[in-house]
Amino acid sequence: MLQELDILNYTTIKGKSINQIHLTYEIFGKPLYTAPIVLVNHGLTGNSAVCGKHGWWNGLIGKDKCIDTNRYTVLSFNIPGNGYDGKEENLIEEYKIFNARDIAAIFSKGLKLLKINKLHAVIGGSIGGGIAWELAVLNPDLIKHLIPIASDWKSTDWLKANCLVQEQILLNSRNPVHDARLHAMLIYRTPESFKQKFNRTYNQEKDMYNIESWLLHHGEKLSKRFKLYAYKQLNYILANIDITAERGNFIDVAASIQSNIHIISVDSDVFFTAAEDKITFGKLKQIKQNVTHRIINSVHGHDAFLIEFEQLNALLKDIF
């Protein structure tokens, strides 16, 4: 069930004052305060429905799953502006108002309102992992296990470049959400993934290749459930992840984090690359012993964190 908190008198990192932010969330599994809490951060077009009937991470979270809702309380916030509550009055008109640190700060305020001062884990893929990094820096002793998956503590030049292309499509296309999704799927997957799935097969009924039909289907599907304002805002947040901004160098900033850090990469990810995570891991090992770097082997690229559940479960089972 979708629930709501009101965050009052919030000032953004850029200094803009907002009187009220509606922060919606869902809870799964054990009731609050009766079990260890796992905070799950959703991806760019995701939401708080992490498990259950329409759960986007059902392969990982649920009864008798890796993150077992018989044992844990699972909490997930919606990034403000993602439109999941369906309320027009809660829209955020200026899509460049928040960066990833703002979202982490808003989540922190939500946790305080819920009287939560300890989390067994924070786990998130893609943009959700970037927000998890920010949350860990803002609250160094809050999180026992920090688990960024197919993610990073920063938006690289490559990531920013792709976000700029996405923004230009969203601003200039006659069918913006649909068309931006087509481009996005090309960087969420890999050539090998497309070859394995389609292998140049042709759809006679539609008179087009199956890869073309599949891409158009994804564009149409997203345009029906995701609003333009939400896509623009989440894309901007994705392009603006950086735990070191106005703080100093990475090692100094990361040194404050008391969490066990479990970095999980996808070897074929061309969005948040395993190579960048390897560099991060190397730097962290200079100052911490409680850090690991594990790899999902997949042809499916960035989206492997939503596909390769057998591997993901195996990599996470010792934490949960």
pLDDT tens-place string over residues 257-294: 999 999 999 999 999 999 999 999 999 999 999 999 99
The verdict on pTM exceeding 0.85 is yes
Q: With CA atoms as reference, report the closest residue to 320 among 115, 91, 72.
A: 72
pLDDT tens for residues 196-210? 999 999 999 999 999
pLDDT of amino acid 91: 65
Residue in the block written with tokens 């006679």? 204
Beta bridge partners of 119: 143
Domain range annotation of the chain:
3-155+241-316, 158-236
**Which pLDDT value is given to residue 287?**
96
CATH T-level fold of 158-236: Rna Polymerase Sigma Factor; Chain: A (1.10.1740)
Given CATH 3.40.50.1820, say whether it is the number of domain 3-155+241-316: yes
Evaluate if residue 92 carries a pLDDT over 90: no
Q: Please check whether residue 44 is in contact with residue 21, taking contact to mean a CB–CB distance below 8 angstroms.
A: no
pLDDT of residue 274: 98
Q: Please determine, for residue 87, whether its predicted confidence score (pLDDT) is greater than 80.
A: no
Question: What per-residue confidence (pLDDT) applies to 3?
Answer: 97
Residues 6+ apart with CB under 8 A from 120: 36, 37, 38, 72, 144, 145
* Averaged pLDDT for residues 57-73: 98
Q: What is the mean pLDDT of residues 155-163?
A: 98
